[in-house]
Amino acid sequence: MNLQDYIGKPTGAGRVHIERGAVARFAAAVTDESDVYRDLNAARDAGFDAPPAPPTWTFSAPFLGTRPEDQPDDVTDGEGNPMMHLMTELMRSGGLVLHGEQEFRYHKTPQCGQVLDWSGVITDIYTREAKGKTMTFIVMETVFRDEDGEPVVTEIFNLIHRGA
């Protein structure tokens, strides 16, 4: 398996609806008590048209606001998320899988009522030696775009495999 062959492979795509109930539940789950995520008037008083999605909401968005009938065609050509294939191959030799750093770049504030299209791709794979173990870093970028195709949030996710 040549790890570099995975760079550029799409990890998936989807459409999410930012719904007020899901946003309020997410805010509660991350213990953010601000009314701006729950109350339309508080959101408007804060300068928003609708309650905004809390920071990091997009990471869980594909589980919170999808509707099966409006999902795009499979961008992985039926092969599934290549991250799963990569991790399976790396884990065959043992070791640990770790969630590395994650970055959220906000281009605009996502707000309730919006519909966002997202797509992800593996952007880099590299290895480093640490304490006699090989660490494989897999970097994935996911961009959420609004109805005009403009980026709203870009996530950069780093998964690490520490060899046995």
What kind of architecture, by CATH, is found in domain 3-19+64-162?
Roll (3.10)
Q: Which residue has the tokens 């995975």?
A: 6
Low-confidence ranges of the chain (pLDDT < 50): none
**For 35, how many CA atoms within 13 A lie in the half-sphere containing its CB?**
8
Q: Assess contact for 158 and 139: CB atoms under 8 A.
A: yes
104 touches 155 (CB < 8 A): yes
pTM: 0.91
Identify the pLDDT of residue 49.
97
Helix pair 20-29, 57-64: axis angle to 10 deg: 130
Listed by start position, the domains of the chain span 3-19+64-162
Q: Give the per-residue pLDDT at 36.
A: 98
| Residue-wise pLDDT tens digits, 10-32 | 999 999 999 999 999 999 999 99
155 and 103 Cβ atoms separated by less than 8 Å: yes
Consecutive H or E run containing 41: helix 40-45
Q: Which of 8, 133, 10 is nearest to 72 (CA)?
A: 10
> What is the predicted pLDDT for the residue at 1?
63
Q: How many CA atoms lie less than 13 Å away from 42 in the CB half-sphere?
A: 10
